Structure 1
Amino acid sequence: MKLLLLGATGRVGSHVLQHALKDGHEVTVLVRSVDKLPHDLPQTVRVLAGNVCNENDVKQAMSGASAVISALGTDGTTTLTESMPFILDAMKQEGVSRIVTVGTAGILQSRVSPELLRYQSSESRQKLTRAAEEHHKAYLLLAQSGLDWTIVCPTYLPDGSYTGNYRVEAHHLPVDGMQISVPDTAEFAYKQLDSLDYLRMRVGIAY
């Protein structure tokens, strides 16, 4: 697989990169800070210094890709909503249909108020909703794109350890799910590249 990985220097993205390298995929990473990447990357990794909010940088990174995985975060910015149109347009121009992104449990459906998303309801314990609002906008763009998308939606995300043992549920957070580690989230997100189980769905993940 020729994979474009966005957010490769982040907590989840760095683990996704290791999975892709272990499986021998050709990976393109578009990063703002090349020095944050491991220094011993193999030649199968194409490193591009650039910004996902720059349309030309995204087009260059998308060239030759067969699938995209985005572990971009919010970090107090509008990176998600600024970059998503460029990502989707570049995918369509390049003929790439599959994209897996990492979102947040806040954009899953609420169980207590089914017509609302979790961050919009009393189900959410987060007092600040700005990050969830960013993910919500990105979700709407994906839902309207016509592409084969999946959004992996972790709840509280400590670094934690890999367990390989977690629960997932389409459109909802698993009942009483309280947290999920970064390595387990990365593994599940990576596995979705070769799976059609949650095509065009949001997927809650928790222990």
Structure 2
Amino acid sequence: MRLTVFGATGRVGHTLVHDALGQGHEVTAYVRDPKRLGLKHGKLHIKKGSLEDGTTVAEALRGSDVVVSAIGARDATHPVSVVTHATRSIIAAMKGEGVQRLVSVGAAGLLPHAAGGLTGEHGLPPFLRHAFEDHRGALLALQESGLDWVVVCPPVMPSGLKTGKYRVAVEALPAGGRQVYAEDVADFTLKAATGNDYHRVRVGIVGD
């Protein structure tokens, strides 16, 4: 399968690219700085560019079976909508190139709340407000896109080892979990991208 990965130098994206290559997939990694990727493989193609450049974004995903976005803002307190703008740019390029499937890494705040609305609209700490609004904008763009999308929604993501021990739930966060390793999020995101089990849904994930 051919994948294009945005956010390939981040914790989730880097692990996902590594694992996808190990499984025999062909991967195009879209990065600002190729040196930060630190991977070499016969099936790895590196495309340098910014997410503001619609031409190079389109070139990166041309001919791909699925697009993965693991983009996140480096500073969660900054009000700039990095994820929203990036998602809109990717969606526009996908429509132009006829690529239909996009799997994105979001946040647990995007999941439905029992009282209505999104979880992030209920009791979210102020320092996470900007990050939530950014991810919410990306979710709205996906919901309006007409594409075949999936949003993976983890809570706190410490770095660690890939355990393969995690639980997922459609449109909900599995009970009893408060965190999940970034490496396990990458593992599930790759499964969602290369499989056919999830379509136009949010999927909560927690460590087991």
TM-score greater than 0.5 by the shorter chain = yes
Deviation at 1:43? 2.6
1:46 corresponds to 2:45 = yes
Q: Distance in 2 between matches of 1:178 and 1:161?
A: 17
Residues in 1 aligned to 2:113 and 2:197: alpha-carbon distance in whole angstroms = 21
Deviation at 1:127, TM superposition (A): 4.3
Q: Which residue of 1 aligns with 2:29?
A: 29
Alignment match, 1:59: 58
Residues 126, 171 of structure 1: CA spacing in aligned structure 2 closer, same or farther, 3 A cutoff?
farther
Q: Percent identity, aligned pairs only?
A: 39
Give the C-alpha shift of residue 93 in structure 1.
1.7
SS in 2 for 1:128: helix
Say yes or no: does 1:88 pair with 2:91: yes
Answer with 129-138 or 46-55: which moved more.
46-55
TM-fit CA distance, 1:49:
1.1
**What is the CA–CA distance in structure 2 between the aligned matches of 1:127 and 1:107, rounded to whole Å?**
16
What is the SS of the residue equivalent to 1:129? helix
**Structure 2 residue aligned with 1:191:** 191
Aligned-residue Cα RMSD (Å) equals: 1.4
TM-score by length of 2: 0.92
Q: Distance in 1 between matches of 2:24 and 2:186?
A: 17
Q: Which residue of 1 aligns with 2:144?
A: 144
Q: C-alpha displacement at 1:176, in angstroms?
A: 2.4
Unaligned runs of 5+ in 1: none
Determine the C-alpha separation between the residues in 2 that align with 1:128 and 1:146.
Answer: 29
Residue number in structure 2 paired with 1:201: 201
Query: What CA distance in whole angstroms lies between the structure 2 residues aligned with 1:196 and 1:67?
Result: 11
Consecutive unaligned residues of structure 2, counting only runs of 5 or more, are: none
Partners in 1 of 2:53 and 2:86 — Cα distance? 8
Instruction: Find the residue that maps to 1:9 and give its secondary structure.
Output: coil
Instruction: After TM superposition, give the deviation of residue 81 of structure 1 in Å.
Output: 1.5
Question: Aligned partners of 2:32, 2:19: CA distance in 1, in Å?
Answer: 21
